[in-house]
């Protein structure tokens, strides 16, 4: 947790800040989520819910059948990888340690610290905005999964479809879920590019030299 680590942070520069399991599932997820998003936009274009279509260059599959093939192939990767990540997150303590300390009390107690480290990246700790966004996007993917099931199998998974408010409403929920995912990816990727070293450490799992130097200045 943030509050007890400012001094600990610089103790061991070689320590793993992103566990291997998180790194592997992260990159598989990155591939799967982007493929789902791009093919999903092409599927949307076949029968748009609103007065616009997505530019074809942003989509995957070439035409509806291709996009559907991609979507229904990659969904397995997304779901299997997602379940593996969730199980790891729950049982390894990863979620508790790094994400679920969003609570009002912890935020209040550590308000100064939080302000100071609000946008600090590349420490292996998630800052408060990261924590909020990551929890949000995990729930968003869960929502996409269930609304997707309702669309794929509105008869066999009738209960899920009913829960979503019926087939037509599930289309809107799936669409808004996709918008949230798209916005998350935009923010996440821009910050990753803006903050030096974060992308590299998502591969190596370790702090980069510039990150260590920056931490020591703090």
Partner 1 sequence: MSIEKKPTAPSLEPFKKKLEVIQRRSFLKKSLSIGALSLLSGCTLKDEDAVDKILWAMSQWNDRVQSFLFSPDKLAKTYTEAEITNPFPFNAYYEEIFAPIVDGENYRLALSGKIEDKKSRSLEDLRLLPQISQITRHVCVEGWSAVGKWGGVPFHLFLQYIGADITAKYVGFQCADKYWTSIDMQTALHPQTLLVLDFPGKSGETKYGFPLKVRIPTKLGFKNPKFVTEIFVTNDNPGGYWEKQGYNWFSGS
Residues that bind partner 1 (CB under 8 A): 31, 34-35, 38, 43-44, 46-47, 57-70, 72-73, 76, 152-156, 158, 167-168, 171
Q: How far is the CB of 175 from partner 1 (least distance, A)?
A: 10
* Structure-derived torsion over alpha carbons of residues 34, 101, 8, 191, reported in degrees to the nearest 10: 30
For partner 1, give the closer residue by CB, 22 or 161: 161
Tell me the sheet residues that pair with 206.
16
Instruction: Compute the residue count for the chain.
Output: 218
Q: How far is the CB of 71 from partner 1 (least distance, A)?
A: 10
For partner 1, give the closer residue by CB, 79 or 86: 79
For partner 1, give the closer residue by CB, 27 or 139: 27
For partner 1, give the closer residue by CB, 139 or 203: 203
Q: How far is the CB of 56 from partner 1 (least distance, A)?
A: 8
For partner 1, give the closer residue by CB, 1 or 65: 65
For partner 1, give the closer residue by CB, 97 or 153: 153
How many Å from the N-terminal Cα to the C-terminal Cα in the chain?
18
Q: Show the 3-state SS of the chain.
A: CHHHCCCHHHCCCCCECCCHHHHHHHHHHHHHHHHHHHHHHHHHHHCCCCCCCCCHHHCCCCCHHHHHHHHHHHHHHHHHHHHHHHHHHHHCCHHHHHCCCCCHHHHHHCHHHHHHHCCCCCCCCCCHHHHHHHHHHHHHHHHHHHHHHHHHCCCCCHHHHHHCCCHHHHHHHHHHHHHHHHHHHHHHHHHHHHCCCHHHHHHHCECCHHHHHHHHHC
Q: How far is the CB of 3 from partner 1 (least distance, A)?
A: 40
């Amino acid at each position: 947790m943030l509050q007890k680590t400012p001094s600990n942070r610089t103790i061991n520069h070689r320590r793993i800040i992103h566990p291997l399991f998180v790194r592997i599932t992260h990159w598989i997820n990155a591939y799967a989520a982007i493929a789902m998003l791009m093919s999903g936009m092409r599927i949307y274009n076949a029968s748009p819910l609103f007065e616009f279509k997505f530019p074809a260059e942003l989509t995957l599959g070439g035409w509806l059948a291709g996009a559907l093939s991609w979507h229904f192939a990659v969904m397995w990767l997304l779901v299997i990888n997602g379940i593996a990540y969730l199980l790891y997150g729950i049982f390894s303590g990863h979620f508790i340690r790094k994400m679920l300390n969003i609570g009002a009390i912890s935020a209040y107690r550590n308000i100064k610290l939080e302000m100071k480290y609000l946008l600090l990246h590349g420490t292996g700790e998630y800052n408060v905005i990261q924590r909020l966004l990551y929890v949000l996007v995990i729930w968003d993917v869960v929502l996409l999964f269930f609304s997707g099931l309702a669309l794929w199998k509105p008869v066999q998974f009738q209960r899920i479809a009913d829960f979503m408010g019926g087939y037509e409403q599930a289309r809107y929920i799936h669409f808004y879920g996709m918008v949230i995912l798209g916005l998350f990816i935009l923010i996440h990727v821009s910050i990753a590019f803006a903050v030096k070293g974060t992308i590299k450490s998502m591969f190596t799992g370790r702090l980069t030299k510039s990150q260590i130097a920056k931490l020591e200045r703090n």
